[in-house]
Amino acid sequence: MPRKKKQEPREILIEVIVNAMTDKIARNPVILDFTGMKGAACEAFVICHGSSRTQVEAIADHVIEEVKLKTGLNPCHKEGFENAEWILIDYFDVVIHIFQEERRKFYNIEQLWADARITRVDTHD
């Protein structure tokens, strides 16, 4: 039986983030992988949206809690909690964007970074 390839710390972090998002029924989670791209400020974005301010806040809080619990990491920066239309959580190599749906459509980050490797997460909803 083949052995599983050992995950990189970034892959583990992304997996924890995505699982935390889906725990709170985040909509359309997407991973934008920038590894190998010149000039990229980080290695990956993880993007999702919620249907309300309350859900966006719940997703963000749960992501921070789960990442701390499972990896020991704290975000180096976070912003957007005041109005929760777009919350950004920065873990240096991985940056999380949690939007309310209208804001996600307006900013359309996936299109801005269309040259990144994009992975859509199947949430079965």
When pLDDT is cut at 50, 70 and 90, the band that residue 79 belongs to is: very high
The pLDDT value given to residue 27? 96
C-alpha atoms less than 13 angstroms from C-alpha of 121 in its C-beta half-sphere: 24
* pLDDT tens readout for residues 30-75: 999 998 888 888 999 999 999 999 999 999 999 999 999 999 999 9
- At residue 25, does pLDDT exceed 70? yes
* pLDDT tens readout for residues 83-107: 999 999 999 999 999 999 999 999 9
The pLDDT value given to residue 38? 83
Q: What is the pTM of this model?
A: 0.91
Q: What are phi and psi of 100, to 5 degrees?
A: -80, 150
CA distance 111 to 98: 16
The pLDDT value given to residue 76? 96
- All domains of the chain in start order, with CATH: 24-120 (3.30.460.10)
The pLDDT value given to residue 41? 84
The pLDDT value given to residue 96? 98
Q: 48: alpha, beta or left, given left = phi > 0 and alpha = psi -120 to 50?
A: beta
CA distance 77 to 89: 6
CA distance 48 to 28: 6
Annotate the chain with DSSP letters as a single string: -PPPPPPPHHHHHHHHHHHHHHHTT-EEEEEEE-TT-TT-SSSEEEEEEESSHHHHHHHHHHHHHHHHHHH----SEEE-TTT-SEEEEEETTEEEEEEEHHHHHHH-HHHHTTTSEEEEPP---
